Chains A and B, each alone.
Chain A
């Protein structure tokens, strides 16, 4: 509740599928190529061309729909959504209107109290992307001209439409985070909001406490094309505040489309929906209806990888603290790194600690990711085993890890080159211990009189003389034993 109004949010998420070729032609979908280099008569909308459906896009869309618990329809169809704009070569977008590929799914989100609840997915449909306009000049209003780049025209999209089940900006964030994490395990999209391979429009309305009608009938503001999850959250927060202020002043909320200004965190009016387009949808006569065999759909369902919910359960059963598990689940690359390492290494909690602290820190510092880390899972495991064997102390291992990142060498090689191996030879350490005790009789006396800190000083002295390579617990033990022995 917000000033007596309930926040009602629904999200429309567009996800570009990472097929090799476009939805209806053979052009590449690669991001970032020079303008119009990835076009052909079909995606340019030349006279006489016809669309041919990319089966791989449908496979990816079905995979996405099943992972989001949707019912995939064996029969769906394509429709033309018609409007004039220079980035839309045919002046219609081939989309799916009244018979979408899939419906009735959900995404589970966990609120602050740890409880999970389901946000409904109304529908998922397949459609083609439009091109891009590059405006010459400062702003659209005073642009001296616009250049059309149609590389993106015809790239396959799935549009995932949620039910208006979200009740706060925070829930919207959680929904998007979970949606993105789920899709990330499917290998169907790059999911880069900053490159536009995942885009989100948010519908925000406020329901007065006394309102009994349909949610759909509330005046709704659509915030268009926000480029990060964080900004979706900010945009909704701003809208909620703006609308509740308006309502408090007795004003009416206008149904409209608003843009989000990253710099100020505010939204601004783009166009009033009351003068909205009539898209004149009708069935696409150039494509037969999309008929999928139940067995084919089932086969895709059976082939789905482990998804966030299952992964969370698995990690919990393996004793990974839920906070750490969450970090792994939401970052597929980290999770895959973790899995590869855990296959080789038994102590999964230690592994997790190393990954999420030291490895993570070094990756960040070096601008690397878990997928392309200089230290791969087997190398990390090799390092951890050197600690377990006593060859390295934990502190030394951190140093070795850093050197491994810098040099790309294995832990063993770094240890050998730097002569870093931990001294575990009791006799060698005993000699140093005896020398230190001889030189610091006063400190020994302090220790004997009950000052525990004195022992730490002595340990420090031994470590200093062994250049840190003595095994600390062994040093500790030898010091205690020797002092105790001297007293007898």
Chain B
């Protein structure tokens, strides 16, 4: 069996353009890897075996020029299962969308296909992207390739695990409160959430519309950037997408002023995470960058704010799953009973919990106290970042206070699960881009460092992350799965 699955997306594309490898061999290598390893990992919900091979064979017939014109030709990409795809089921990890086939491709899928990407399958997630462990998928949990008894994080846990384990070099995730960055951190890969509005949400099954963004997941900063560049851009079908140009960084290639918010380095960070962070920060200092302590004073309200806004929007977005037009229907003795039994049997516990939270937050008499107040705090959190970016070029934080936790360990404590989003949710609330990259191991588990940048400075974000990546030792392949 060829070891193409070990290569980066850049290498695969380059070798394919140069005719050194065939797309079919690349895809076969990954499909075999999926067949061999995904049984224990559970990263995929659907493997697009025939479709991917057919597309690979088609690309093998392309001339060199055509291969080069498609920046992702010859490269497998996995897609989180809350992004709709024609010809493959899209379930969002929910029984209510069992076997659902979308009549259209998401905007990012159109872009991926136009860029030559070969879609190898759909990856697992917490139901409707609600969760931080991928245990809340209606189908099966996903296991962390570093230690199979642990969660890969979530909700893009399938994508993260698949990339980490070499089942695909690239994957799309979606990030509403950290759902790309947190699993990237837990799985030792790079995951990036673009600025709100940078990537079209058309075809992303909505969780919380004002927070959701699709982003890239890869094993290197360069690969993440390759995937990001294929999917970004304004889309007339998404009125919240923006044609903003890339902002330019005041201090170009550096040295940069890097802010360390004191609220993100306080109590509750595991010692191993703190140690890995300290080493990474030392590297940044040794590169000549200036590290300054800053304050984001409204950070402590972020989780409460997030857990009002996100469920409120979710309760509305998920109302369409009513059994009338598509997806699952459980017949009832009348219309209301049909609605109730369909939604009762179709949604899992975590989704129901959030629908209840959100419905309550929007109810007459509670709207002002909850939703409206949360929106006001959101403005304050955004202002915190505006002010901070007046002083610094980037902000660096731990992505999470901890490392991947054991499956089942937070089942009885949703609040603890929610608190895990504390360092990531602020970027969604503020709409700014964030990137998580591995900076070391703590007791054998990856530790992620998060970069935050001002709106529309994705390019600089990649630049900064790549600079740090270059001076850090590369992580080994995950230890929980066989790599021979």
Q: Which residues of A contact B (CB under 8 A)?
A: 41, 44-53, 80, 82, 84, 86, 89-92, 148, 278, 280-282, 285-288
Q: How many residues of B contact A (CB 8 A)?
A: 43
Interface residue B106 (Cβ < 8 Å from any Cβ of A)? yes
B359 touches A48 (CB 8 A): no
Most buried by B among A44, A49, A280: A280
Interface residue B459 (Cβ < 8 Å from any Cβ of A)? no
Q: Which residues of B contact A (CB under 8 A)?
A: 83-84, 90, 92, 97, 100, 102-104, 106, 201-206, 208-210, 236-240, 312-313, 315-316, 319-320, 322, 324-326, 335-336, 339, 359, 362-364, 367, 371
**CB < 8 Å neighbour of B362 from A86, A90, A282:** A282
Q: CA of A285 to CA of B428 in the docked complex: distance in angstroms?
A: 14
B103 touches A52 (CB 8 A): no
B92 touches A47 (CB 8 A): yes
Residues on A with C-beta less than 8 A from B316 are 80, 82, 91-92, 280, 282
A285 touches B92 (CB 8 A): no
Give the A-B pair count, Cβ closer than 8 A: 98
**CB < 8 Å neighbour of A49 from B202, B236, B326, B339:** B202
Per DSSP, chain A at the interface is: loop
Cβ-closest chain A residue relative to B238:
A50
Known interface pairs A86-B335, A91-B322. Does A48 touch B205 (Cβ–Cβ under 8 Å)? yes
A50 touches B201 (CB 8 A): yes
Cβ-closest chain A residue relative to B83:
A48
Q: CA of A148 to CA of B329 in the docked complex: distance in angstroms?
A: 15
Q: Knowing that A49-B203, A91-B319, A280-B364 touch, tell me 5 more A-B residue pairs with CB under 8 angstroms.
A: A46-B102, A52-B239, A280-B316, A282-B313, A287-B240
Cβ-closest chain A residue relative to B364:
A278
B239 touches A48 (CB 8 A): no
Q: CA of A123 to CA of B83 in the docked complex: distance in angstroms?
A: 39
Q: CA of A353 to CA of B359 in the docked complex: distance in angstroms?
A: 64
Residues on B with C-beta less than 8 A from A282 are 312-313, 316, 362, 367, 371
Known interface pairs A89-B320, A91-B320. Does A286 touch B239 (Cβ–Cβ under 8 Å)? yes
Residues on B with C-beta less than 8 A from A82 are 316, 319, 362
B364 touches A45 (CB 8 A): no
Cβ-closest chain B residue relative to A25:
B237
Closest Cβ of chain A to B402, distance in Å, is 31
Residues on B with C-beta less than 8 A from A288 are 239-240
A52 touches B324 (CB 8 A): no
Known interface pairs A278-B363, A280-B362. Does A92 touch B319 (Cβ–Cβ under 8 Å)? yes
**CB < 8 Å neighbour of A50 from B208, B210, B239, B335:** B239
Q: CA of A375 to CA of B381 in the docked complex: distance in angstroms?
A: 70
**CB < 8 Å neighbour of A84 from B206, B208, B237, B339:** B339
Residues on B with C-beta less than 8 A from A52 are 236-237, 239
B204 touches A48 (CB 8 A): yes
Q: CA of A148 to CA of B325 in the docked complex: distance in angstroms?
A: 9
Q: CA of A49 to CA of B335 in the docked complex: distance in angstroms?
A: 25
Q: CA of A278 to CA of B360 in the docked complex: distance in angstroms?
A: 11
Closest Cβ of chain B to A46, distance in Å, is 7
Cβ-closest chain B residue relative to A80:
B316
Closest Cβ of chain B to A208, distance in Å, is 29
Which 3 A-B pairs rank lowest in CB-CB distance, beginning with the nearest?
Answer: A91-B319, A285-B209, A280-B362
Most buried by B among A49, A52, A288: A49
Cβ-closest chain A residue relative to B100:
A47
Residues on B with C-beta less than 8 A from A47 are 84, 90, 92, 97, 100, 102, 205-206, 320
Most buried by A among B240, B325, B339, B367: B325
**CB < 8 Å neighbour of B103 from A41, A80, A90, A285:** A41
Q: CA of A483 to CA of B418 in the docked complex: distance in angstroms?
A: 115
Residues on A with C-beta less than 8 A from B324 are 86, 89, 148
Closest Cβ of chain B to A7, distance in Å, is 30
Closest Cβ of chain A to B202, distance in Å, is 5
Closest Cβ of chain B to A93, distance in Å, is 11
Residues on A with C-beta less than 8 A from B362 are 82, 280-282
Closest Cβ of chain B to A317, distance in Å, is 49
Q: CA of A287 to CA of B238 in the docked complex: distance in angstroms?
A: 8
